[in-house]
Structure 1
């Protein structure tokens, strides 16, 4: 292994200790190490990301089943995957070719159409359109390729037929086709075997066999095949569509943690069977659930979901993304007022810092500029630390924390050492903070529904600041209370003031 990865031999020492059993389950790809390490559920540990081409990778995300509106549980998954994609592209110079599958024919879509007396295809188109609007409102980049099940029926049919011909699947009298798990020894690769499988069916040979094709039921849409009429099973869709666009192997395959078993397990099994290979997806990425306070899962069945438009009525897309950045993508994330308030406060700390830097650099009262080695050293250390954090399974929470420490250090020097003036290191730090946050997908834009111009707000804030300083000197409580009233009224108009002994700053907030 040291010969293959000379640059990373020290960092790979823990990977070399993979258990023999796990080595047979996850196969380390041949190719070029990227320097990135990611948790792999098959190996059950962090492993190196290795690509055939050092700068090109394929990525497939399981997309929505479009029978209803998306909620913020879905949003947290797609925002976190969007962050990881941005990191791979902008920090590690990897050209990602991204695809997402959309399930537009399914039991739930058919049921929804019957309930509202609308054709299932119209239902699917309506909710898919809404999904893309929601993703755009959260600044989630649209995948380069969108594959819809209804556009790939022939591909799916041929995929199923080849597995039948290989002897690893069998058709039944009702026109269904099942994957024969007893003939596939590697079944259970992604997760330890469960005591439960799909609902028992007299047509199935084994409890864990799963449907590749569902036989026709009266009143449902169907397609004719050589083994009977029916429609695709859920698991086969992604395998067939990914194979169509990416061939016999995909680098990254992503989705929510609830898809690890049985959906991704079944995808891996049927894809390996189709391609006659031992490993189909090299890296599975699973995102933890978004739970409500009290560890209650957010789901449509529990009727406790929050829609994406409702979220954006209270918080900005940047605030929600910051909450995602401050959590580990693999673990459960809590959605609560406390969590979102903390995320908003952190976001505002960065915004206020950037405004304070502008004021500091353009302050006409200061003397000549000088360098500050302490600040430059602090910046360099944070840059190095953050690169290491991102290398280690995309640890964005540690990145955010290190940047907060950096701006605290910078603020102290800017405000305490009033006789000194260090514009160059301060500007470099502000540029680094801005660059990092925008590369994570934050827009850092001040948006307001009101038609108040920035210059008018500037004038009002500066006037209040002058009055407040005079009131502090004269200890005029009445004037200070009036200043507080103005500050609170501005906040009700989504304008938050950060008072300072010199020049105040302000930002728009949700």
Structure 2
């Protein structure tokens, strides 16, 4: 196993030279092409992913501002980013050195602390703890490195001081510090320049200038600096923490699309100015919003949120992750019961197939000799190749799922053919492939732990019902068939879905 350290990773960035990409402001790194193409908001097109080391990528995600509970809008962002990281690691053999920033000093946290007469640090710790529990419940891998603003005040102060010394920032009369956007010619790189910005005041030279440091207000926490008492602005926090961990260049910076401007724009500007470089983050990955019906963004301010524990009362983590896999990470996803039911239906198709295929593979009653079907193996090979290509083009998981469903459907025709064509070897390989790829996407494919009946008892009921149903079909006893349907529906209400489409009964746990 290759051993590396962050000093080595950091030093590689100085070897990598940059060149313009098709007359845009994005600069293509010199290094090792991975074969992956990802959409880049600066180039406004897909661009090749090139790394200094073809098997190591530095990755920073903007984490939560911990003043309230996370909701499923946050969940969709972090689940989709988790899927992308898993793809890079599992399919392309890229080690991800991941970091996430936690904003634990912020206006909203301070306000909540004052209103509840609780120290702001306790507010932040409470909601950060809750956030990690929520992420674990969704099977989102925890980053290797966690940076908290409260633990990096010294780094932030030094970062700001260098910008002041380099004449890229100025101290206002009240002791606040602003980044001077007029001094940075590439401001507006990530998003077309807008006539907007942080609220104007008499302290700012330009409307687009943004606060690096906010002067002290009564009753608010503060830190002493050479330019006065106060606390850091939001944008400077990520830049300082990333620079502390990864140095002067970062491979991938990720977050929600709402952070593209002004947060990520400001990060890129102040980081380039600080390090005196042309490009700080080589790749920006932005996840689309989770909308409620009517194309409205789910947000705390609109009071239209659903908490993660509330979601998991109705649907399990695999179902939510499948919904994320069925949509493109870059675009908005409209949350609805219909979306979740579709995701659950797709998930159940895979569960039923795995169960049916396992029964088929272990069929001791068949008198047919096994055959080695080239047709099935070719379908498997085509699917493997098509899925790998789809993942190389901006992590197209929706196409992968559709390809798997096609493979599943074609294989089901063999499994359920009459007379049965017995092909245990290729069917086994297909089951292993489907389980492998879904597991690599982060699905657990496990039954719910809250089911009341044990597997043995469910098997007994399902097999008994199956025998009764076959006799009812044979004798055309419609009253008995109706009773079997009632048992099926009752079992479904208890989260056990029965599949009658095969000679041998099968069942899966739902939701």
Aligning the two structures, in what range does the TM-score lie when normalised by the shorter sequence?
over 0.9
Point out where structure 1 has 5 or more consecutive residues left out of the alignment. 1-15
Q: Could you tell me how far 1:419 is from its partner in structure 2? A: 3.5
**Cross-structure match for 1:296:** 296
Find the counterpart in structure 2 of residue 453 from structure 1: 454
**CA separation in 2, counterparts of 1:175 and 1:227?**
6
Secondary structure at 1:207 match in 2? coil
In the TM superposition, what whole-angstrom CA distance separates every residue of 1:34-67 from its partner, at most 9, and x where no partner exists? 1111000011100000000110110000000000
The answer for the alignment partner of 1:92 in structure 2 is 92
**Structure 1 residues 132-173: Cα deviation after superposition (integer angstroms, max 9, x where no partner):** 000000000000000000000000000000000000000112
Matches within 5 A, 1:374-453: 374-453=375-454
User: For 1:79, what is the secondary structure of its paired residue?
Assistant: helix
How far the C-alpha of 1:295 sits from its partner, in A, is 1.0
Match of residue 159 from structure 2: 159
Aligned: 1:326 with 2:323: no
- Work out whether residues 42 and 190 of structure 1, in 8 Å CA contact, stay in contact via their aligned partners in 2: yes
- Aligned Cα root-mean-square deviation (Å): 1.1
TM-superposed deviation, 1:18: 5.1
What are the residue-to-residue correspondences of 1:64-83 with 2, within 5 Å? 64-83=64-83
The aligned counterpart of 2:45 is 45
2:446 partner SS: coil
Partner of 1:178: 178
CA drift at 1:501 = 4.0
Please report how far the alpha carbon of residue 417 of structure 1 lies from its aligned counterpart in structure 2 after TM superposition.
4.5
Partners of 1:73 and 1:289 within 8 A in 2: yes
Q: Is the 8 A contact 2:21 2:28 kept in 1?
A: no
Which residue is 1:262 aligned to? 262
- Aligned residue number for residue 106 of structure 1: 106
Could you give the per-residue CA deviations for residues 408-440 of structure 1, whole angstroms, max 9, x where no partner exists?
000011112433200001000000000000000
Measured at CA, do residues 492 and 107 of structure 1 come closer, stay the same or move farther in structure 2, by a change above 3 Å?
same
Q: Show structure 1 runs of 4+ deviating over 3 A.
A: 16-19
CA distance in 1, matches of 2:293, 2:446: 29
Kindly indicate whether residue 364 of structure 2 is the aligned counterpart of residue 359 of structure 1.
no
Kindly indicate whether the alpha-carbon contact (under 8 Å) linking 1:63 and 1:102 is maintained by their aligned counterparts in 2: yes
Cα pair 1:101 1:148 within 8 Å, conserved: yes
Question: Which whole-Å deviations, capped at 9, do the CAs of 1:336-384 have from their partners, x for residues lacking one?
Answer: 0111000000000000000001110111222221111111000000000
Match of 2:465 in 1: 464
Of 242-251 and 485-494, deviating more is: 485-494
Whether contact under 8 Å (1:448, 1:494) holds in the other structure is: no
Q: Distance in 2 between matches of 1:273 and 1:419?
A: 69
How many residue pairs get aligned? The number is 492
Q: Aligned partners of 2:160, 2:510: CA distance in 1, in Å?
A: 53
The DSSP-based 3-state class of the residue aligned with 1:265 is: helix
TM-score (norm 1): 0.95
Distance 1:17 1:126, change over 3 A: closer
Is the deviation greater in 73-82 or in 414-423? Answer: 414-423
Q: Deviations over 1:215-239 (max 9, x none)?
A: 1111100000000010000000000
Q: Structure 1: how far apart are the matches of 2:203 and 2:114?
A: 28
Quote the offset at 1:504 in angstroms. Answer: 1.4
Aligned match of 2:8: none
